Chains A and B, each alone.
Chain A
Amino acid sequence: MKRAGFDNIWLPVALLLPQLMIIAIFFYWPAGWALQSSFYLQDPFGFGSTFVGGENYTSLVGNDQYKRVAGFTIIYSVLVTFFSLAIALLLAVKADKVIRGAKTYRTLLMWVYAIAPPVAGFMGILFFDQSTGPLTKFFQMFGWDFKLGVDYNATATAMVIVAVWKQIPVNFIFFLSGLQSIPRSVREATMIDNRSATGRFWQVTFPLLAPTAFFLLIINITYALFDTFGIIDALMKGEPGNNPMTLVYKVYLDGFRGNDLGGSSAQSVILMVLVLLLTVFQFRLVERRIHYT
């Protein structure tokens, strides 16, 4: 709050009211409702519900399918995060170095940010088409009978590739802006101390980029968990079957197609706790960031 604040009482209330009302109706009410219904078993035909305590949670723990989905979500998040960060970092370092065409490269490398995940997924369908897809043929060259939507590993690979492609621009933008904020004096000093460009990168530039990288780590995990829904939905063409899926997709599937309200709510609550943990982790990092500068 500013020292020179205004003393008016009704104006700030009126200013805050729209935001508070929207949050109350579309955030706190639904979140509370999810917590409540995660302890109930909903009648599939809509005739009331019975309190079952933690049964929805315990049945998830023992559910093999849920474990499989959770396992896939972890592997998927790790792969998407790692590859999109690594490729983006390489490109950002190079884009920061070149003088000629720097702005053109920046534009060409970041514009995919604006493409919607399901649209990216739809293009993926054509690239991984069972009979004509160029990437299908590429994998077949290595003797892998790549069948999107049929073979679990093939579908998972396609999901990772499309998700990485879609996420490179964001990471690139943040890495480039992080690199460009390294002061000139620091760069010149390291130039004198260390002749090897690789040595300079790992000993000076990378540690200075670490706060950006930590921050991006959280952003990318959140992306892999939630924002890839459209990609996953497009690539499995609306037929879950035996296909890999993430936890969020399962919440959607159980809640909207399976009509398992209690189970879906329990999964929602588990995800909420997961996101809360990530956020606490992130806030601690933000504090660290402030100490850095």
Chain B
Amino acid sequence: MAETTLETPVETHRPRRIKWGAIGDHTVLILGALLMMIPPLLALTTASHDAVTIHREGLQLTLGDNLGKNFHAAMFEKGGFTQTVDGTLMLMNSFILGIGFAMGKIIISMMAAYAIVYFRLRFATLAFWVIFTTLLLPLEVRILPSYEAIQKLGLTNTYTGLIVPLIASATGTFFFRQFFMSVPEELAEAARIDGAGPWKFFVDILVPLSRTMIAAIFIIMFVFGWNQYLWPTLITTDESFFTLVRGIKQIVLSYTDSQIPEHGQALALAIVAMIPPVAIVVFFQNWFVKGLTESDK
């Protein structure tokens, strides 16, 4: 904005130059947008063709007439190795993982952050370090021992085993700690003078105050949980616990093993796996961007 207000008087003598510059900017942006848009769009158009066409000619630029058929087959026909899982079940599992992870993470980390920020505790510093050390090591680094732990607890092929170990990292706690620190001191003092206990202050004042933050972190965590791959691959061997993202490889492999690979159906499934996280990010993009850029500082 600032640039145009300043540049206009200078550039009035040479109106052409500013125009070329703007055209260049738009060209770069359009090329960038195309780069990001084309692969998923081609996946969609290709998903509308029958298996033979895709097998012979690869990706398709035009819409065919098998879109409904492929989506129907992907969602309702049992596939996979044991023929027990369909797209609908995997979609449900993906929602359980995404929502369960996001909610669990928010509740647990808000409580912990509240305890660390608002209470005079002798071991607060110790708790802080014990919790924040977890920021250092992502799950992928300790994947094998984490799997062993889950196995010893008998939690393989359960939603608990799928969700809870992913929560064992302090990203959410760190995020809420930062936010609580920025809440004015006077608020807690005023609440205390008015006779509100710590629990009442938390539930009636702090939680409503954090609504935007909660929404932002929910979006990020939902997408993170939905897109998990390595952990669900290890923990769920029973196909009825497959999420879309975890199941997609198995499904692709079992499709490609056949004479003519059912790539249309596999692509339809891939598109179903993309839609919910993409929709939530696009519709709530202001919250999402705010949460992303502020949580990592």
Contacts and interface: CB of A to CB of B under 8 A. Distances in A.
Across the A-B interface, the 4 shortest Cβ-Cβ residue pairs: A132-B58, A30-B145, A116-B227, A26-B168
Contacts, number: 300
B149 A19 contact: no
A115 B278 contact: yes
A70 interface: no
Interface in B242-297: 245, 248-249, 252-253, 256, 263, 266-267, 270, 273-274, 277-278, 280-282, 285, 289, 292-293, 296-297
Interface of A: 1-9, 11-13, 15-16, 18-20, 22-23, 25-27, 29-31, 33-34, 37, 87, 90-91, 94-95, 97-99, 101, 105-120, 122-123, 125-127, 129, 131-134, 165, 168-170, 173-174, 177, 184, 187-188, 191-192, 197, 215, 219, 222, 226-227, 229-230, 233-234, 237-238, 248, 251-252, 255-256, 261, 264-265, 268, 271-272, 275-276, 279, 286, 289
Interface in B151-173: 153, 164-165, 167-170, 173
Given A12-B119, A26-B164, A188-B2, A95 B29 contact: yes
Interface of B: 1-4, 6-7, 21-22, 25-26, 28-29, 32-33, 35-37, 39-40, 42-43, 46, 56-59, 108-109, 111-112, 114-121, 124, 127, 130-131, 134-138, 140-150, 153, 164-165, 167-170, 173, 181, 185, 188-189, 192, 197-199, 201, 223, 226-227, 229-230, 234, 245, 248-249, 252-253, 256, 263, 266-267, 270, 273-274, 277-278, 280-282, 285, 289, 292-293, 296-297
A116 B144 contact: no
A34 B119 contact: no
B76 to A, nearest CB: 20
B58 A129 contact: yes
Given A15-B114, A113-B223, A129-B58, A31 B145 contact: yes
B293 A110 contact: no
Contact of B149 (A25, A98, A113): A25
A119 B199 contact: no
A152 B210 CA distance: 50
Contacts of B249: 118, 122, 233-234, 238
Contact of B117 (A1, A23, A133): A1
B36 A168 contact: yes
Contacts of B21: 197
A205 to B, nearest CB: 11
A133 B46 CA distance: 12
A286 B135 CA distance: 15
Contacts of B192: 4, 6
Contacts of A9: 121
Nearest to A162: B39
A127 B227 contact: no
Contacts of B37: 108
Nearest to A25: B149
A114 B223 contact: yes
Given A126-B46, A165-B35, A226-B141, A233 B229 contact: yes
B134 A27 contact: yes
B124 A22 contact: no
10 contacts: A6-B120, A8-B197, A19-B131, A23-B131, A108-B33, A112-B40, A113-B223, A118-B249, A165-B39, A252-B143
